[in-house]
Amino acid sequence: MNEEQTWVSQAQQGDDEAFTRLVETYQTPVFNLCYRMLGEPELAEDAAQETFLRAYQHMHRYDEKRPFATWLLSIAAHYCIDKLRRRKFSMFSMDAEDDEGNTFELPDPDSPNPEGESIKGQTRDRVHSMLKDLDETDRAAIIMRYWYDYSEKEIADSLRLTVSAVKSRLHRARKELAGLWQEEEDDLLAEMERRHHESPAF
């Protein structure tokens, strides 16, 4: 039995300290999934906390044959999907604004040279903002596939879908993202052309 299995087993017997160790271990993957799903750090924090609370309350349901991370991410994904569905008809902005309309930026602790990272950052932001246009379940499938390297079978188990459904959802989502990417490139080119024509030197 490895360390994680010991913690899980102790947590199932009501050991809060063991569960805290699990929270420490999995806080980043769970938070990242929630952030990619919901788009805003505050919502992601709340969803990640709620995920761990649900996991704590339902530890007795956890099947030890399944990897703990998969079970945890499955709870997080379902929570985020439900949250997004409930908010579907209300206004939803990925521009990271708080209640007073102030914008905030996510700190990037691993970035020693912000200027050098800007192009990479822009690409990442593009992907992040494009994710919001995907269907909730497709989004969860894409996140699990590309951020967590989950196989189609693992995604199917986590999202309670068939493997073929996961495959078709991944294809559809990838095509949709590519379409959006292409549209943005076209807009960017058009904008550059317009500026070029409007410049005094022209």
Find the length of the chain: 202
Q: Which is nearer to other proteins, 117 or 201 (CB)?
A: 117
Residues 168-187 that bind other proteins (CB under 8 A): 170-171, 174-175, 177-179, 181-182, 185
d(CA 127, CA 149): 17
176 close to 134: Cβ distance less than 8 angstroms: yes
Q: Decide: helix, strand or coil at residue 7.
A: helix
24 binds other proteins (CB under 8 A): yes
39 close to 132: Cβ distance less than 8 angstroms: yes
Residues 109-148 that bind other proteins (CB under 8 A): 109-110, 120, 123-124, 126-128, 130, 142, 146-147
Angle between helices 41-57 and 16-38 (to 10 degrees): 140
Return residues touching other proteins (CB under 8 A).
16, 20, 23-24, 27-29, 31-32, 35-36, 41, 44-45, 48-49, 52-53, 56, 60-63, 106-110, 120, 123-124, 126-128, 130, 142, 146-147, 170-171, 174-175, 177-179, 181-182, 185
